[in-house]
Structure 1
Amino acid sequence: MDKILIVDDEVEVAEFLSNFLRRKGMKTFPATTVKEAIDIFLRERPNLVFLDIGMQTPDDGFIILEKIREVASEEEVKVVMLTAREDKASMMKAKKLGAQDYLVKPIDLMTFDKLVLQYLKELHS
């Protein structure tokens, strides 16, 4: 079964997106801190991660992405940045560190749902 990690320091966002996917029958794990995200990632080995950038510190999402890429390739785990940051430097840094996509909040649920299905399909092809 596919596992999806949703990391956002806003508890409501992490829980909302997690519950949205759970209702569709997916196994999800919300996380709101760097430590929690890394612990869940190492324990559960999700194959899709949605990751906020600015959490407790401005670059927490990049720290998590670097940790993920130390142990999992882009073929094994798809990472999508989901953030309020719209600057080109953050987008380029995310891509350089191994993120597959970069979405700016707020996100439309239909777009979110479509992306989840797209990346899960890619993982299985």
Structure 2
Amino acid sequence: MAKLLIVDDETDVREFAANFFRKRKIEVSTASSGEEALSIIDKEKPNLVLLDIRMEGIDGIETLRRIKENNKEIKVIMVTGKKPDEEESVQKCREYGALNYIHKPLELEDLERVVLSELQKT
């Protein structure tokens, strides 16, 4: 079974997305910080990570860099509350290996399409 890790410091967003994918029979773990995400990744090795860019502590960009440093095979999709008009952030995420961006508020159809498409490739 495919494993999905959802990383977001907003509890409502994290739980909403987790419940949405659990109903689709996907094994889901959640983390509220970059630090927690890195710990879970070491233990569970998810196939795909939905990673919020803006978080307290280690932000999503640094978390992405650390994920890819040790786990190149793990796919990461960045989630952002703002459209990525900051070219530097977009460029860094691409350089570090992010597959795609999803914007908040999360559109369920888009979220489902992108996540299921990537999980089917695993």
For 1:51, the aligned partner's letter is L
Query: Where does the alignment leave 5 or more consecutive residues of structure 2 unmatched?
Result: none
Q: 1:26 aligns to what?
A: 26
1:10-38 CA distance string (max 9 Å, x none): 01111110111001111001111122111
Answer yes or no: is 1:39 the counterpart of 2:29. Answer: no
CA distance in 1, matches of 2:34, 2:110: 26
Give the superposed CA RMSD: 1.3
Which residue is equivalent to 2:98? Answer: 99
For residue 78 of structure 2, what is the aligned residue in structure 1? 81
Alignment partner of 1:2 is 2:17: no
Q: Distance between the aligned counterparts of 2:30 and 2:79, measured in 1?
A: 13
Q: The residue matched to 1:50 in structure 2 has which SS? A: strand
TM-score for the superposition, normalised by structure 1? 0.90
How many residue pairs get aligned? The number is 120
Question: After superposition, what is the alpha-carbon deviation per residue over 1:66-113, rounded to whole angstroms, capped at 9, x for unaligned?
Answer: 11111222xx21100011132222111111111010122112101101
| Distance in structure 2 (CA, Å) of the matches to 1:8 and 1:41 | 15
The percent identity for this pair of structures is: 41
- Structure 1 partner of 2:15: 15
Structure 1, gaps ≥5 residues long? none
Q: Say if 2:113 is the partner of 1:111.
A: no
